[in-house]
Structures are given as C-alpha cells and as structure tokens.
Structure 1
C-alpha cells in the first residue's frame, strides 16, 4: 500500500509540474510594454499665453494658482519654445512634429492641413496604440481635427478666434464689420449666460466622464482664450480693475518703441487679467476631475501655449493684451517674448517634478514624446522625443534649433521678415530682407538687450552659415 501511494504521488507530481511550467511560459509577456498600463493623456494648449502671464513665472497681476500647482508637480521647462510666433505655423509644428516650413514658406490663415501621410501622422499612430482621441476648441488648421485622425472633435474648425467669448458666441458684441468664421457646435452645447472657456471645459469633463473605460484616452483642449477679443465676466473684470488701480508700477514705462510700432511694458489690462484667471480656474476644474475619478496617477498632463503674449502693435495702433517683460517684444517676433512658452509635463511616480533650466525643447517635440511614451515608436520627424529628459537621463542644453518667420505683420504686430537660430546659450536673429543681424547670450541676457555682433564676429559667421544651410533645405 505504501509503495502504491508513492507511485501515485510521483504520477501526480509529474503531471502537475509540466502543466505549471507550460502555463507560466504561455503567460509570459511578449515585451516589457505589454504588462505596463498605458497612461491617459490630457493636453491643455492655451492661445496667446505669454511666459510671464503666470504668477509662477513672475506676474504680479494675474493670479494662476491652479497652473502654478500643476507646474510644481511637473517637469517644468524654462527653455521651451514655440516653433513660430503666430498661431497657424505654431500649431502646424506641434501637430506634425516638424518645422512649419513648406516649399520655402510657412502656412497662414486659411491653411488646410491635408497632406500628412499616415506614416508621419501622430494621431493615427496613437489611435493604433489603442487610444480614443478627442480634440476640443481652437484648431485653425482646416475644417475638422477628425481629418487628421481624431475620433471626436467639438467646437473646432477654421476659426482662429471666437467672434465673442460671451453667449451667443457667434454674434458680434461690438460695432464694426465681422469677417471671422463662426465656430461650429457651439449652439448645441451652450445657453444664455455661458462663457466660452467654461463651455469648452464642460465638454472635456463630460467626455472624460463618459469615455470608454476599457481604453486609455488622449484629449486635447485648445482654449480660444486668452486670444482676442478681450472679453470676460464683469465680476472678474471689476476685481482685477480694482487690483490694477492700486498697483504701483513706479516709473516703469507703459510702452516703448519696437519695430514699426510699440511694445507694451505693463500688465495692466483688467479684462485680459480676468481672461487669464478664468482660464486658470478651468484648468483647476480639469485637474480636480482627474483626482475625483481616480485618474490622477495614470494620466499624463501637458500644458503649453502656442507662442508669446500679444504685447506689440505696428503702424496700426491698437489695444494690447499684456506685457511679456522682462522678455523682449511678443507675439509676431523672434525675440523670446514672441516664442518662449510655458511647458509643463506631469505624470505622477514616473517623472520627478522639478525645474529643467538647461534643456532646449520645442512644441514640435510634444507628440514625438507622447508616442514614445505609449509605444516606443518614432516617426522620424524634425521634432524628437524628450522622454530621456523627462526621466532625468539626458539634458539638451547644446541643442541647435531654428525659426523662419516669413509672414511678418508690420501693420499689426510691428515685426518684419526674419530667421533665427539658437545653439546652446546663443541666439542669432537675421532680418534677411533688411540685412540686419543680432546676437544674444540668452542665459546671461534673457531680455536680449546686449547685441554681441561686434564682440563675437566668428560666432556670428558660424551661426549665419548654419542658419543658411538649414534654409537651403527648403
């Protein structure tokens, strides 16, 4: 009997062991990505928000506690740049991962982004990685973000700015001829008393709440704020007007001359201040939603602006929104006031919060980075993944980057045609039709006040040669 039991024991053991072995072998992950939960992605892209429009970055007038809190939980880049100082080319660069130059020129108002091949299309690759994708707000790159591959789009289209931020949004609130395209979808999602920035945020909240929970999401909210028209809620304007009226600007000038017009030097527009603070409150609503739904730990949040704030006019004097001081100039210019932008990337327990004040990153790097995070893929575009920077494994302090601004607006923003190159600490701007060149050490002279062209002639020639070689490619 004892011998029989031993035989049965060996028989059972011999049967179970192979089953366990082959079961383990079958369930082994194919690659290291397959057993990692992919993050949700929330992109918040603000229109015309200057680098110094945040209290975190030194504004004494605009209060932005929610964005400040996000920045303190993020990798915060202090050398982040838009690829262009105006809307359409900047957004083209961000969505395609490329410099915004086609056939020797840059896209402008009325541009249709229809020629992106599938093998260079970030949105279609993100869809293929199992994501549900949605776009809300300012598109300005054609008729519909769904043409690029987004599954859902709301309140997007050709419009570069709203006719009004106050309901009804497609009805002018001021006298004069209106030439703007209406924003679609707004009648169906809004009501009397609504404010546009609130309405767009409501739609993103609803989308996240009603999403297919079996798949990760990538939602991009491109606020129309804080672009003109300058319109805000009366209570917010009144509060800011009172604060501005009691603020001591000392002997700081209100304007200085720049190009064909002026640069605004004070943040003293109460309506613009109210728009910034309303936008910040809506960012807070989104961040709170992620916490409430338990999504905060596995959602990447990216916040940026498309270029610098509107601080300059030209031969046509007009109301200006903000000041980018101590940065020089603003929207339309290749001085840092026009191209330096806030950029924060948060993913809890994956990217250690902190300030990166060395690495040079650009908006064209955002989608290469996101695709790298979720799939490890690269589409071989001009932009590149800064995931190694986010993981503290690299620093891009000696990177070479370029700009080409061929759509100058001397009437509206005072700028003229120019190109620029930054290599490490040095930035060179060349006004190629005027034969004028300036060189600045951005690290030592962030206000770009001390032109080094006569002190570093060899460096000037070397950078001009690099810039010309880059431009020869288009």
Structure 2
C-alpha cells in the first residue's frame, strides 16, 4: 500500500515538473518582453492641418487635448517643415529622402496616376523593414499605383505601397475628393464586385452616375464654383474625375476615418510583440470635410473645425490603445501635417463663413499652395515617454530627414547615391540638441531657401494670389528676402537693402539645385 502511494506521488510530482517545464518553455518562446532598444514608431500624418490649428500651437477657438498631451510629454517643434506646400510632393520627399522638384511628375496626382516611388531604391518603410520591423500604411496614399495610368481596378493593382516597403497596406488611392472612392487592402479593392466593374477616367465621362455639374440638386454639400469638384457624385458629394461601377465598394465619407482607425488599431494589436512602424495617414481636415455624425457641429467652426476635433479624438484613441497594451512608453509617436492650411478648397462647408476668429496659419503668412512660411511650416510633435524629455524646440527640421535619421536609430546604412537630400538630425528629433538643419529648400510654385534667420524666395512669374482659395502664393517677379527671426510674418522685403545676402542665397540655392 505504502509503495503504491509513493509511486502515485512520484507520478504526480513528475507530471507537475513536466507541466511546469512545458509552460515555462512555451512562455520563453518568441512571445516575450521586447527590448527597450527597439521602439515602435507611429507616424500620424494629417492632411492640410495648419500651424495655428491646434491649441498647443496657440489656437484659442478650438481645443485639441489629445494632441496637446503628446506635445506636453514630448517635443513641440516651432520651425519644422514639409518640403512642399502641397500633398503629393511632400509625401514623395518623406518616402524617398529626395526633394520632389528634382523629379518630373511629382505634382499633385490624379487618382489614376501610376506609382512615382521607385521600387528598387531605399524608402522610409524599407529602413524599418530591413531592421526587422513590421511595416504598415493605413490611410491616404496619393503617390500613384501600378505602372500605367490605365489600370484594371477589378484585379490586383501593383506596384504600390507593398512594393516600396510596407508589409501591409490599407489605403485609398489619392485624396477623398478624387475618384475612385474605394479602399484598397494590399493589392485589391475592398468589396469589389465582378458584376459591377470599376472604371475611372479623368478626361471623359464614364458610366451613368450623375455629376455635380448636371445635378447640383443631388448634392448634400455644394461645390465651390470653378474648382472642379463637380464630376461624379459619390455619397452626395461631387468629386474630381469620373467613376463607373464599384457601387458596393464605395466608402461613405462619414465612416471612412473610422475604418482607417480600426485598421490602424488592428495592426498595432496584431504586432504588439514585435517592433513595428505604422504610417497612419489621416485625411482630416482635407476636403471634402464630412466628419462622422458624433462630431458634426461640435466645433462651432464648420465642418473643418469638426474634422479637426475628429482627428484629435483619433489621436486619443491611438494613445489609449498603446497604454492598454503597455506599449506607450516605448513608442515614438510623430505627429505632423503634409502642408499648410486652406479653407475654401472645393466645397461650401462653413470653413469660411464659420471661421469665428480662428487663425489656421497662426501668425504665419500664406497657406497651402504658398511659398510663404504657412505653406510648409507645420505642426510637428515627437513623443517617446521613456526617452524624450518634454521641450519646445526651435530647431530647423524637415520630414525629408526621417530616412537618414531613422537609419541611424535602427543601425541601417543608406545605399550610396540614394536619399541624397535627407540629413541625419536624430539628435534634434530626440531633443538632445536644438540645432537642426543649416539650410532648407522650400517648394511651391517656385523655390525658396532658408539659411539661419534668412529666407530668400526665387523670382517667379506665377500668380501672386489664388482667388479661388483666397491664398497669397508668395510669387513675385522680384527677389524676396526676409529675416524670419525679426519678421516671421514675412512683411518686409529686404532684398534691395541687403543685395549681398540675396546674392549669397541665390548662389547657395543654385548649388543645391545642381547637386547630383
């Protein structure tokens, strides 16, 4: 009897040891605590958000508490820039590390454009992918798809984001005001229907869908005269371009940002056990501004203000999820915009009539489409709670420098002759120094160069004022010179007073333009 009991005890003890060994072994498998040396990176890129659109940048007519939280716990830059005053070229520079004016075809693209990002060269997502990160884009793309303008939207569409370095992509092709108004997940249109094939044309009408020009009575948001947003109507809104078919696949504007948020959160959750890079490209506050119902009328500034409240809430949802998954402290969150603000950019949505004293550009002059400072100087915040100390930085930095800077962070080397305009300013991005670039070229209808406190705008015969969007472009047939330290509003042209400085900056700009 005693031997039987002893044998039973031995068996139970052996089973317990084997069980505990198995559990410990399984727990020691790849699902283990991440190294603090591998931070996650989330780049939240807004669309047409101005320097003065956030309360942490001085706005008093609107409150953005979640973005303010990022600023309070990270670095808020006051002299940070896109390369360009419009979206496609800014995004091209971000992805390639090359000034967009060096390459033809990098202007604002139609929705059926071919891919303009090289697939055989370094890119921002490839920096992280090579370093072992999982990479994803969720949101606006606007850098072209496929090898040709004429493409079959009903089958696999490539090359695209996946071919330039993203493991996962959930996008819309161009902008929300351009057809096709569909989501693409990796290479395929979501909810595509072979019995209702999609066709897109930017020159000639296709299909039988009503247009805003012919049927304005069907619009739930009127198009601004002369801006071209009066072609195929989708979701009661006139778009740029003509679209046929794909009725099941067409998104509605009110649910589109929430879909992007769901996909972004899903990617974060699925990759919480490994380092990841998420390029989260929001559409707010780009036109057409049709915020989700819970935000309509909340800002008192028209739909544009409501869209800003919506994007701030979205940032809060990302922060909330990171905290829930215990990823927040070791995640670098970058928040910025692709260019400066614009109010009337195609639709009558209250942005102008309900402005209520709000100043989207803050103290700056100009806006989207402008070579003046409000065209490229944008909100720019970097948060990394476990590493970055809260600060306000005056460093001159640009989004074009992400490739070189994150290459150093991840221990990558940039191939010779690639990303040649990108500079390593990781120390400035992480708050270790307040010294950034010595020189930056800005791009709109013409070029400008900033060196120290001085800004030189190259002469241009382009129009000086866009009546349709109420924007000062900064174009002038005469050279312009401003001291930004003394005159951030760019009111006093000092070119005739300091001809030697003009000559110096002209030569410097020419040298950069001729750089191989």
CA contact (8 A) 1:142 1:157 kept: yes
Q: Give the unaligned 5+ runs of structure 1.
A: 1-33, 242-268, 406-416
Distance change (3 Å), C-alpha of 1:391 and 1:230: closer
- The question of 1:390 aligning with 2:392 is answered no
Partner Cα distance (1:101, 1:421) in 2: 13
2:67 paired residue number: 67
- The question of 1:126 aligning with 2:128 is answered yes
CA contact (8 A) 1:313 1:320 kept: no
Partner Cα distance (1:100, 1:77) in 2: 23
2:322 paired residue number: 290
2:479 alignment partner, SS class: strand
How far is the alpha carbon of 1:362 from its aligned partner? 0.6
CA contact (8 A) 2:396 2:438 kept: yes
- The question of 1:225 aligning with 2:284 is answered yes
User: 1:360 aligned to 396, 399, 402, which one?
Assistant: 396
1:177 paired residue number: 231
Distance change (3 Å), C-alpha of 1:150 and 1:435: same
CA contact (8 A) 1:88 1:107 kept: yes
User: 1:428 aligned to 446, 456, 472, which one?
Assistant: 456
Q: Let me know the Cα RMSD of the aligned residues.
A: 3.5
2:92 paired residue number: 92
Distance change (3 Å), C-alpha of 1:378 and 1:345: farther
1:221 alignment partner, SS class: strand
1:470 paired residue number: 512
How far is the alpha carbon of 1:470 from its aligned partner? 2.4
Partner Cα distance (1:349, 1:319) in 2: 42
How far is the alpha carbon of 1:364 from its aligned partner? 0.4
How far is the alpha carbon of 1:214 from its aligned partner? 4.3
CA contact (8 A) 2:75 2:431 kept: no
CA contact (8 A) 1:166 1:196 kept: no
User: 2:141 aligned to 139, 142, 162, which one?
Assistant: 139
- The question of 1:152 aligning with 2:168 is answered yes
Number of residue pairs aligned between Structure 1 and Structure 2: 398
Distance change (3 Å), C-alpha of 1:140 and 1:204: same
TM-score w.r.t. the length of structure 1 is 0.75
User: 1:275 aligned to 289, 295, 307, which one?
Assistant: 307
CA contact (8 A) 2:287 2:345 kept: no
- The question of 1:58 aligning with 2:90 is answered no
1:203 paired residue number: 263
Partner Cα distance (1:398, 1:468) in 2: 18
1:448 paired residue number: 490
Partner Cα distance (1:235, 1:135) in 2: 26
1:199 alignment partner, SS class: helix
Q: How does 1:305-344 map to 2 (within 5 A)?
A: 305-311=337-343, 323-344=360-381
Richer in helix (by share) = 1
Distance change (3 Å), C-alpha of 1:89 and 1:319: farther
Distance change (3 Å), C-alpha of 1:188 and 1:292: farther
Q: Give the unaligned 5+ runs of structure 2.
A: 1-33, 146-159, 184-189, 192-197, 199-208, 210-218, 223-229, 233-239, 353-358, 462-475
TM-score w.r.t. the length of structure 2 is 0.69
How far is the alpha carbon of 1:125 from its aligned partner? 3.2
1:27 paired residue number: none
CA contact (8 A) 1:138 1:161 kept: no
Partner Cα distance (2:115, 2:58) in 1: 36
How far is the alpha carbon of 1:127 from its aligned partner? 1.1
Distance change (3 Å), C-alpha of 1:185 and 1:41: farther
